[in-house]
């Protein structure tokens, strides 16, 4: 039993007054600015397998379920039972809708070999059948699938064109919004080359194969009386039906934030001004094979999960099990974040989809998981799906989409051997806010990883190179050894550092020895000074004693002289 409540809101209306009939198909109403022209026929054309019948069926079923508008589906290729079975996987209970008299399906078998022309061909019989179904269901929507089968029995081109015009006019007169499907012709939108001219709205569905990869696209060829998106838009058919992905805004008007999100490595945070990446920014990690790009991206994902936020990890090279095993060897337990629901992997070969399908898949995963961060590892695997311009276009839309949602995104990019390291194969470095470059440095018969910040918009950042070490305890960034005209990494750095430490120790020991010698010399001098002071004190004492003795002697002589003079009775 279909229990969804129809939307009772008024139908969208174009600013010029043209009433719109929303389809309910994700994305299609956005690029048509409200839906299909209400009360008019819309031609949906395309090659086999492009999704014409599905679009027509979704238009009818979603119209009933989401907008409360009954509908009629007239089929010429598949029976009602086949149509119901085909869309049952989308959650469409066609049998229930027909039982509730909100939908009617009629299958008309047309076989050219079984028809014998005995008079003028016209569509009066079709109009009678359609009219009855519209009346029985009070239908406001009609789908006809498809024109080729309907007119397959008609060989007269003039009559065919006249009846086509009459069919479109009859539908307009009924006041119903109609979707009519048609097969693509040779170098024309339709086989008869007329339908697109008498339709008010024409939607072209494309299903192309390039490099053995299939891609679905949709384009609104014309829309009388209404502005609409004119680009090709990627489409996807999945368990939710048809969805159209609007191209991101070209206005660059998404909001920005000033708060930071950790890189997962303390010292790298310090190199980026102390806080890590700006939240909602785009980050490129590029480097040659084995330089540690995935490890750096994993550190970021681990840091996001540690902070209690969600991270979506898109991998084009490794399975989730392989990623978890490999990252566990350097101390990252991604399995616990996955079990806790903080981390979600989506691993698939890049050639599984076309470029646009990857974009659509990202939209779908982000909408469902609502992550705070996304890791795409590596984007260079997309080179198998198109040229640089195609890849750059898709990645631009990915970045704009993620920035619009304030999601911090880390993209890894493989730099081919012998190519300049400060260049990416897909040419998107200018789209990135932060670019971390990992480089393999060869010296002393070994290769070592070096990391530096090539750019980081809007923040002061380090211009120093750091040696990037991977070990059982995680990622460690250490200073490289820089000397006059030389840079050492790895064991050369360790050897040089050991030599420097030995030299420093020798200097310290020599300084100690010199200090001890000076201390001895100072002690000797102090002893000499003490002895001299003692001698000087003794001399002073002796001098005082001699002076006192002399004074006493003089006093005695003077006394004796006075005594002798007294005895002589001298004057």
Among 172-181, 298-307, 440-449, name the one with the lowest average pLDDT: 440-449
pLDDT average, residue stretch 383-392: 75
> What pLDDT shows up at residue 237?
81
Among 63-67, 206-210, 219-223, name the one with the lowest average pLDDT: 206-210
Which residue in 147, 207, 464 sits closest to 356, CA to CA? 207
- How many C-beta neighbours within 10 Å does residue 406 have? 14
Residue 86 Ramachandran class (φ > 0 left, ψ -120 to 50 alpha, else beta): alpha
pLDDT at 522 over 50: yes
- The angle formed by the CA atoms of residues 207, 232 and 237, to the nearest 5 degrees, is 45
User: pTM for the complete prediction?
Assistant: 0.63
Q: How far is CA 285 from the centre of its chain?
A: 12
Q: What's the token pair of residue 489?
A: 């990494």
Higher pLDDT, 568 or 279: 279
Among 47-51, 58-62, 269-273, name the one with the lowest average pLDDT: 47-51
> What pLDDT shows up at residue 302?
95
Instruction: Give the DSSP H/E element, type plus range, for residue 158.
Output: helix 157-174
> What pLDDT shows up at residue 142?
95
Which residue in 420, 413, 405 sits closest to 283, CA to CA? 413
Q: How far apart are CA 311 and CA 318, in angstroms?
A: 17
pLDDT tens digits, one per residue of 411-430:
998 886 666 655 665 567 77
Residue at token pair 């007169």: 173
- Tell me the pLDDT band of 10, cut-offs 50, 70 and 90: very low
> What pLDDT shows up at residue 485?
62
CB 354 within 8 A of CB 213: yes
Q: How far apart are CA 466 and CA 359, in angstroms?
A: 35
Arithmetic mean of pLDDT over the chain? 84
Q: How far apart are CA 358 and CA 382, in angstroms?
A: 9
Question: Who contacts 268 (Cβ-Cβ below 8 Å, separation ≥6)?
Answer: 276, 436, 451, 477
Among 281-290, 413-422, 455-464, name the one with the lowest average pLDDT: 413-422
47 DSSP 8-state letter: S
Q: 451 forms bridges with which residues in the sheet?
A: 438, 466
- Tell me the pLDDT band of 8, cut-offs 50, 70 and 90: very low
Q: How far apart are CA 317 and CA 350, in angstroms?
A: 8
Q: How far apart are CA 568 and CA 570, in angstroms?
A: 5
Among 111-115, 141-145, 227-231, 486-490, name the one with the lowest average pLDDT: 111-115
480 DSSP 8-state letter: P
Q: How far apart are CA 338 and CA 305, in angstroms?
A: 9
Instruction: Give the DSSP H/E element, type plus range, for residue 299.
Output: helix 293-306
* Three-class secondary structure of residue 70 per DSSP: coil
pLDDT at 319 over 90: yes
CB 364 within 8 A of CB 238: yes
Core vs surface per residue 140-174: b (16+ CB within 10 A) or e: bbbbbbbbbbbbeebeeeeebbebbeebbebbbeb
Radius of gyration of the chain (CA): 45
Q: How far apart are CA 101 and CA 249, in angstroms?
A: 42
pLDDT at 354 over 60: yes
Q: What's the token pair of residue 329?
A: 């060897």
Q: How far is CA 149 from the centre of its chain?
A: 45
CB 343 within 8 A of CB 313: yes
pLDDT average, residue stretch 397-412: 90
């Amino acid at each position: 039993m279909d229990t969804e409540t129809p939307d009772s809101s008024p139908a969208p209306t174009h600013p010029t007054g043209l009433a719109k009939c929303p389809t309910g198909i994700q994305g299609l109403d956005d690029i048509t600015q409200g839906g299909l022209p209400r009360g008019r026929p819309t031609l949906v054309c395309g090659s086999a397998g492009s999704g014409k019948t599905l679009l027509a069926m979704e238009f009818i079923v979603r119209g009933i379920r989401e907008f409360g508008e009954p509908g009629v589906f007239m089929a010429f290729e598949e029976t009602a039972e086949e149509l119901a079975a085909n869309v049952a996987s989308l959650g469409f209970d066609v049998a229930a809708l027909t039982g509730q008299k909100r939908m009617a399906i009629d299958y008309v078998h047309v076989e050219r070999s079984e028809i014998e022309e005995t008079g003028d061909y016209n569509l009066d019989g079709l109009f009678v059948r359609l009219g009855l179904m519209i009346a029985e269901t009070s239908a406001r929507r009609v789908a006809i699938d498809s024109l080729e089968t309907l007119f397959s029995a008609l060989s007269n081109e003039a009559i065919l064109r006249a009846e086509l015009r009459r069919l479109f006019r009859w539908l307009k007169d009924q006041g119903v919004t109609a979707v009519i499907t048609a097969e693509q012709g040779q170098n024309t939108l339709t086989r008869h080359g007329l339908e697109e001219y008498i339709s008010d709205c024409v939607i072209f569905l494309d299903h192309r194969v390039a490099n053995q990869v299939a891609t679905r696209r949709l384009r609104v060829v014309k829309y009388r009386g209404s502005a609409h998106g004119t680009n090709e838009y990627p489409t996807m058919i999945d368990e939710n039906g048809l969805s159209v992905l609007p191209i991101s805004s070209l206005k660059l008007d998404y909001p920005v934030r000033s708060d930071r999100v950790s890189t997962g490595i303390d010292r790298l945070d310090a190199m980026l001004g102390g806080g890590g990446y700006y939240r909602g920014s785009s980050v490129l990690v590029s480097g040659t094979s084995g330089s540690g790009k995935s490890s750096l991206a994993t550190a970021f994902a681990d840091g996001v999960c540690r902070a209690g936020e969600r991270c979506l990890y898109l991998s084009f090279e490794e399975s989730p099990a392989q990623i978890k095993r490999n990252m566990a060897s350097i101390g990252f337990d991604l399995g616990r974040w996955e079990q806790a629901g903080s981390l979600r992997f989506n691993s698939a070969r890049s050639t599984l989809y076309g470029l646009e399908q990857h974009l659509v898949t990202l939209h779908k995963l982000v909408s469902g998981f609502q992550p705070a961060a996304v890791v795409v590892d590596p984007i260079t695997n997309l080179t198998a799906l198109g040229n640089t311009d195609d890849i750059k276009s898709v990645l631009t839309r990915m970045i704009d989409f993620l920035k619009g949602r304030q999601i911090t995104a880390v993209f890894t990019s493989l730099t081919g051997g012998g190519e300049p390291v400060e260049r990416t194969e897909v040419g998107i470095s200018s789209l990135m806010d932060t670019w971390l470059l990992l480089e393999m440095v060869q010296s002393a018969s070994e290769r070592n990883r070096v990391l530096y910040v090539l750019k980081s918009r809007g923040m002061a950042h380090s211009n120093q190179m750091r040696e990037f070490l991977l070990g059982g305890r995680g990622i460690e960034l250490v200073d490289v050894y820089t000397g006059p005209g030389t840079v050492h990494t790895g064991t050369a750095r360790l050897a040089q550092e050991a030599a420097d430490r030995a030299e420093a120790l020798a200097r310290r020991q020599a300084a100690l020895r010199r200090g001890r010698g000076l201390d001895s010399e100072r002690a000797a001098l102090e002893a000499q000074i003490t002895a001299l002071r003692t001698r000087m004190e003794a001399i002073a004492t002796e001098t005082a004693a001699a002076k006192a003795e002399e004074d006493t002697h003089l006093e005695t002589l003077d006394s004796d002289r006075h005594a002798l003079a007294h005895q002589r009775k001298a004057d």
